Amino acid sequence: MSTEKPFKLRYSLILPALIYRLIVGIRNLLFNWGILPSEEYQVPVISIGNLSLGGTGKTPHTEYLIRLLKEKYRVAVLSRGYKRRTNGFLLAGDTDTALTIGDEPFQMKRKFPDVLIAVDGNRRRGIQNLLELPEHQKPEIILLDDAFQHRYVIPSFSILLTDYNRLYYKDQLFPFGFLREPKSNMHRANMIIVTKCEEDLHPIDFRVIVGEMKLFPYQHLYFTRITYGETEPVFPLRTESATAGNYLNAENEALLLSGIASPALFIQEAERRFRKVHPMLFPDHHVFDKQDIRKIKETFNRLNSPDKFILVTEKDAARILHNPFFPDEWKQLTYYLPIRIDFCTKTTLSFDDCIRKHIITFQQNNIFH
């Protein structure tokens, strides 16, 4: 009985899997043959995406590129603004929230208020609107968030992310696995980054992955890991000090709220820092409603420690900040862990140089054309 049920379940997925593969394959062929239109642009367009259904770390990698480029170039980030409650093209402003532009764009706008953050499900329209801005605002570089499958735009440089714990070449096409399209389509990437690597990887581990990737000569490969900063208050004006979160210690007891695709690293980091943690997991991009808050309150009230607090991911902090159901009495007890990426094997300078070289080469080629 125990072996028959999974077999039947997988057997029932064969027809949906074949249909999905056929649809994805036909779509890619139509783009390859030029039947579906793809457009190039006169500014560098760097795409950050993946083959899988999510959770590879696109946002922190996009933020790394913003930090790398914003001092020298006018940078714009274009996202579809997943789960926002608005439509069409929207250029983020001071009054926007996660509800109007999406949690990840809002997170980036809070961190980089001087950078253009825009959302549009139609990436071609979004790019066109950005390029029609006044000359002093018009971006010199556009970063496309989660756009590997958006083939109506031809990026000047494409970065493909793959989670170390779920490498694309070991995965299967949906619904048997988590791939949006066949792994063979990795050929469209100029660069592949293995994300969320463990700290204790040995040289042999890197060599095995390099061998399994079977990269093309034009493709670059890098490895990154997730790093976390000191805890910060989600509502700094509600705490006694904007840095109050930095003084939380190992004796504190934390209720973890996570609405991200892959919360394992967040939970591990919290367990490393605090005596006792209690994870409450929600779907990716989850918007907390009244019922969620009631369940959270019941769990939080059961914690006996006088030093208890609420710890959320940075993406969840973007959604909680303007949530009308979040109780006022929790606001001085709620913190988040800032997230960044760090390159493994001392390749930061190599990555930075690769991106800068692409931009310079692109600009030079467009001058002559």
pLDDT of residue 4: 45
How confident is the model at residue 367, as a pLDDT? 67
| Burial (CB count <10 Å: 0-12, 13-18, 19+), residue 216 | exposed
Q: What percent of the chain clears pLDDT 90, i.e. is strictly above it? A: 78
Q: Residue 270 above 50 pLDDT?
A: yes
Per-residue pLDDT, 8: 56
Under DSSP, is residue 154 helix (H, G, I), strand (E, B) or coil? Answer: coil
The tens digit of pLDDT for each residue in 218-255 reads 999 999 999 999 999 999 875 554 444 445 777 789 99
- pLDDT band of residue 54 (cuts 50, 70, 90) is confident
Q: What is the pLDDT of residues 8-29, one digit of tens each?
A: 556 778 888 889 889 999 999 9
Which SS3 state, helix, strand or coil, does residue 160 take?
Answer: strand
Report the pLDDT averaged over residues 121-130: 96
Report how far residue 256's alpha carbon sits from residue 189's, in angstroms, rounded to the nearest whole number: 36
Q: How far lies 33's CA from each of 27, 122, 184, in Å?
A: 10, 21, 17
Average pLDDT over residues 29-46: 94
**For the whole model, what pTM was predicted?**
0.91
pLDDT tens figures, 94-123:
999 999 999 999 999 999 999 999 999 999
> What would the mean pLDDT of 197-225 be, rounded to a whole number?
92
Q: What are the residue boundaries of the structural domains of the chain, listed by start? A: 45-73+140-227+343-368, 230-337
Pairing of strands 75-79, 141-145: parallel
Q: What is the three-class DSSP state of 182?
A: coil
Among 330, 276, 335, CA closest to 301 = 330
According to DSSP, residue 72 is labeled T
Mean pLDDT of the chain: 90
**For residue range 317-358, what is the model confidence (pLDDT) as tens digits?**
999 999 999 999 999 999 999 999 999 987 888 999 999 999
Percentage with pLDDT > 70 across the chain: 94
pLDDT of residue 244: 46
Question: For residue 124, what pLDDT band results from cuts at 50, 70 and 90?
Answer: very high
Residues 207-215: what's their mean pLDDT? 93
Helical (H) or strand (E) element with 335? strand 334-337
pLDDT at residue 13, as a whole number: 80
- Give the C-alpha separation, 6 to 184, whole Å: 28
- Cβ–Cβ under 8 Å, residues 337 and 226: no
What is the SS3 assignment for 208? Answer: helix
Pick the closest to residue 228 from 354, 326, 312, 350 (CA basis): 312
**pLDDT band, residue 53 (cuts 50/70/90):** confident
